[in-house]
Amino acid sequence: GAGVSQSPRYKVAKRGQDVALRCDPISGHVSLFWYQQALGQGPEFLTYFQNEAQLDKSGLPSDRFFAERPEGSVSTLKIQRTQQEDSAVYLCASSVGGASYGYTFGSGTRLTVV
Amino acid sequence: GNSVTQMEGPVTLSEEAFLTINCTYTATGYPSLFWYVQYPGEGLQLLLKATKADDKGSNKGFEATYRKETTSFHLEKGSVQVSDSAVYFCALSNDYKLSFGAGTTVTVRA
């Protein structure tokens, strides 16, 4: 597609519920990133994939967060047993290489845990 | 570790005014520096970048110069338009990760 597509655009989850957020990167982009953006803050790095390999997951806040990209294209960020502090916008970005090439970001998924 | 500090907002300007958003950074080595912009209802977009000291990035009338001696990358535009209303993020990277500032909200009034 022309850009990075994320779905759903908005998600309301009850505390304790599991959620799955989807990202469709630009075709041919080998690098895929997930970021978390709290209200009024800049995005914070969560995890990085190069093709299907998850090369860095150091930013995942807890073991309730899990990301995958099994075929090197679409990626899913899963959050188990959601907590209120998980409420944020989750951004996906893709790139042909590293940050110096510039990322293309999706519009994000706004997760609200009630 | 890497960190970015940028001018707190919100900033409100009249059309055709001069805009400066200050950005300073702390990093190991020689990072690349970026400005990203988020227009209302849209995703983050790369506005400009500079990859080494004294480089000037420019796009859409915006400019920023990589100043290693002051560890700064201030964003400037000489004459803003209403369409420049957005949130602006300064960021840096040593490798594949971006470290962002908190963002500065700019509103331009006609």
Q: Which residue of B has its CA nearest to A34?
A: B97
Mind telling me how many Å the CA of A10 is from chain B's nearest CA? 13
Summarize the confidence of residues A7-20 as an average pLDDT: 98
Q: Compare CB distances from B43 to A41, A102, A108 and report the shortest one's residue.
A: A108
Tokens 């309301």 appear where? A12
Task: Inform me whether the pLDDT recorded for A2 exceeds 80.
Answer: no
Length of chain B: 110
Q: Would you call B34 and A102 a contact, using CB atoms and an 8 Å cutoff?
A: yes
- Chain A hits for B93, CB-CB cut-off 8 Å, are 98-100
Task: Inform me whether the pLDDT recorded for A3 exceeds 60.
Answer: yes
Please write the tens of the pLDDT for every residue from B30-53. 899 999 999 988 889 999 999 999
What is the pLDDT at residue A100?
77
- Chain B hits for A56, CB-CB cut-off 8 Å, are 96-97
B85's CB contacts (< 8 A; 6+ apart) are: B39, B40, B106, B107, B108
Residue of A23, A29, A32, A103 to mutate for B, most B C-beta atoms under 10 A? A103
- CB–CB of A28/A97 below 8 Å? no
What is the pLDDT at residue B4?
96
Q: Would you call B98 and A44 a contact, using CB atoms and an 8 Å cutoff?
A: no
What is the pLDDT at residue B59?
97
The CA distance from B13 to A54, in Å, is: 44
Please write the tens of the pLDDT for every residue from A48-107. 999 999 999 999 999 999 999 999 999 999 999 999 999 999 999 999 887 777 899 999
- CB–CB of A106/A91 below 8 Å? yes
Strand B75-77 and strand B23-26: the pairing is: unpaired
Task: Inform me whether the pLDDT recorded for A29 exceeds 90.
Answer: yes
Q: Which of A1-10, A53-62, B67-76 has the lowest mean pLDDT?
A: A1-10
What is the pLDDT at residue A1?
53
Summarize the confidence of residues A6-16 as an average pLDDT: 97
pLDDT band at A18 (very low <50, low <70, confident <90, very high): very high
Give the residue among A25, A5, A24, A21 at the shortest CA–CA distance from A96. Answer: A25
Q: Which residue of B has its CA nearest to A90?
A: B43
